[in-house]
Structure formats: structure tokens, C-alpha cells
Structure 1
């Protein structure tokens, strides 16, 4: 009898987020492309839960690393691996045109999917950081459809300039909360919001990124035990969650020097 393919024999679903790919960090892009050509090619599905790119100013931007990533994701999708993408706070403008080039399906944030027969909540994670009032105000502004239409109508150079200013403002905001000793409570998730989200969706497990604090948290919410899995970023090292018949595993990936 012929042996089963790895994808048939050991079905695995992979989750990543917060890669923050940018031309200034070619080592991270190289690591992700190697991941797509290697482990991801043997998976059943790949979920990217936001912030694939450091900034995304519109699907009409064909510069790197977006172009090479689109080609690699398209090859992965064409090989039979289901690719899913959820927008993050850095690439909330990524749209259907780019998703089509990649062969990936766009997901609402939040959404519930079934993993190993169990409903699991997926979210980028910024919606859980409700104690950061300044950020939540900014998020509401840039997710307004009218704001997005006006922004995307601007020349590409103007959009890149805005993105650069937004990144600088984000760094300044983070420095302010750190100096005030509020980094843990302001930039991390709100426990009350996490509990309310679990109860609202009625799930036992949640997966998210955004906070760059990779961990598996066991907690009680609504009188039930729950599990919150936080994906890590791809700065000094990569982060991947593997879900299969053998269980769940949150692991680190090496990223080589540039």
C-alpha cells in the first residue's frame, strides 16, 4: 500500500502573527519565505492573524516585501494548503485585491473556526486591549470606511509618509506608557475584556497575537476553564502555533542574521 502524504497522515493547522515584514528587515522575510516553502507546505491550513507587514498603505503598492510574499503565498495556496488572513493594526488596509494575488481568504476579526472539531475564537488581539484608550480612538478612526476611502485616494508617496508618521507616533505612545510605568496594563489585554469575549462567543479556546507576549494562559471565565494562546512576533525569533491530532504546541522559530 502506498504511504500517505505528510498532509494526509499528520494534518496540522499552523498559526502565525506579527511578522511585521519590512524591507529594512530582510532576515524576517527570508525566514517567513523559508517557512512557507518548508513546514507550511505540509500543513492543511495556515492562518496569519494580522500584522504580516510593518505597514500596508494599499493593494496598489507592488514594492517588496509584499511582492515576493504574495508569490510565495500563491504557490502555497495552489499546492492545496488553505491560507487565511486576518487584518492587524498595521495592515488593516490589506484588501481583496492583494488577498486574491496571494490565494488567501480574508477573515473577519473576530471569528470562530473549528479546530479538531472544537470551536475556537480567532482575533488579532488589539480589540482586547481596551485599557489603551488612545489606541482604541485611533483604531475607530482608521477603520471608518469614509476615512479609508479618503486615505486610499491619496498618492502612494503621501500614504507612505502617513504610515511613517503613524509608526513614529506609535513608538512615542509606547515610550510614554513605559515611562509612566503603565506598559503592562495599557499595552496588554484587559482581563475583563478577555473574560467578556470568552462568554460572548461561548468558546473554550482563543488564539490571538498583537501583544508580542507569546504564552498559553489557563483561566476561568463565566464559571468555566478557558485557554488563551498568544502568538509571538517575528523580530528576534519567529513564533508558530501548531494544532493537530497530537495536541497544541506554541513554539519558537530561528531567524537568521541579515
Structure 2
């Protein structure tokens, strides 16, 4: 069994190098794998699955891009690869319709899955950044089903404008935050891993790819952090049957 894990592609029409690189990666790298896990922030923003109805009438180009991505994932799924999508802080409104079109299943955050030779905890990672209290307040609101229902009832053009506004506000807020506030809280990491009874955690969100050694309930443990994709460069974790996760960067050219 070969499992591939990726995160934080932030796909959008303004970064065609990443989108085209991902489509090439699907054909050249992911095809033939047993499972693909996408751990959140797959898209830079997602305003609802009805975006797909706009097609070429969407002036932002997001609808056309999303349809291309869904079709490419469906081809991969039809070839025998199980695909799992986890929500991130950018695409938390990603729904069952897109998942169906992509031949994928939505994966709760957090989830424990059997990979390689052990049980592995998968997360997007934003819930681990507990020192960022302002963000955690927004996260609680954004994950509230009633709030989501309210937002999805808005006309789609209003949702597109809202998403743009939220991205701008997030960028301004992050520029004024200390770097350590936007990283995970180690105590929270250990706590969550202990609650799920695992010694391996894989997540994204922070854009700080690395492998961290730590201790959970007196046992040696590891935290793997996926990197974000940029024009020309992507990040993946590969897990072979009976093997340990391998974090690696690769060229998208």
C-alpha cells in the first residue's frame, strides 16, 4: 500500500503554476497510489459547492478551475485511488457535491487512520494554534453549522465578496502577529495526541514543513508538518506499507 498526503495548495486562478503542477503531479505521481489524503486549504477560498454551477460565467475563474480539479481527481479515483478531503481554514465550506464530483470522501478533522504500520492522527492543524485567540474565535464561528447555513443562503456574489474581505482581514491581522502565535502550541499537540492514543501526527496549516520529535505519555512520538505548495515546488508525505512517513519536497516544473 502507498499513501500520499498533501496540504495547503491554496489553488486559485491567480497561481496557474500551482494548479497545472498539481494536475501534472496527479498524473505522474499519484496515479497508481492506494490513497490520497488532502489535509485542508486545498483551495484558497471556497464559497459553496454551487460555485460549480457558474462555469465560465464566473468572472473570477474559480468555477472553471474547480471543475477541472474535480474531474482530474475523479479520474484518479476511477483508477482505484481512494481520495480523502479534509477542511482547512480557507475551504471549510467545501461540501458533499464537490466531494462526489471528485470521487472523494470528506474526512473529519481530526481523524485517526491506519497508515503504514501504525495508527496516525491527521489534522489540518489550525486547531492546534491555541495561542492565536482571535483566530480560534473565528474558527469556532466558521465551523458552526448555523453560521455556515446563514452564509450559504446569501447570493453567491455576496459570498465571493465576503471571502475576499475575510482574506484581506486575515492578511492584515497576521502581519501584526508574532510568529510563535501563529504556530502550534506544543502542549496542545501532546494533549491531542494523547487523547487519540497515537504517537504520530501529520498536519499542515502552518507552512513550516518539518519533522519534530516529542514525547507523548512517556513514549517517543513524531509530528510531521506538510509544507504549502508554491509555483515550482510542492510538498508531500509518502507512506509505504510497513514504513514510516517520508516528508519530501519536489519540483512542479
Which residue is equivalent to 1:36?
Answer: 26
Q: How high is the TM-score relative to the length of structure 2?
A: 0.93
Deviation at 1:162, TM superposition (A): 0.4
Which residue is equivalent to 1:54?
Answer: 44
Which residue is equivalent to 2:227?
Answer: 232
Deviation at 1:116, TM superposition (A): 2.0
Q: Which residue of 183, 207, 211 maps to 2:206?
A: 211
Note the 1:1-258 alignment, pairs <5 A: 11-62=1-52, 63-177=63-177, 182-183=178-179, 185-236=180-231, 237-245=233-241, 246-256=243-253
2:173 & 2:66 partners in 1: Cα distance?
27
Q: How high is the TM-score relative to the length of structure 1?
A: 0.91
CA contact (8 A) 2:129 2:185 kept: yes
Count of residue pairs the alignment pairs up: 241
Equivalent position SS for 2:64: coil
C-alpha distance after superposition, 1:160-202 (max 9, x if no partner): 000001000110011111xxxx21x210000110010111111
C-alpha distance after superposition, 1:47-98 (max 9, x if no partner): 0000000000000112132110000000000110000111100000001111
Identify which range, 14-23 or 59-68, moves more after superposition.
59-68
Q: List structure 1 segments (4+ residues) > 4 angstroms apart after TM superposition.
A: none
Which residue is equivalent to 1:6?
Answer: none
Q: Which stretches in structure 2 are left out of the alignment for 5+ residues?
A: 53-62
Equivalent position SS for 1:60: helix
1:161 & 1:64 partners in 2: Cα distance?
18
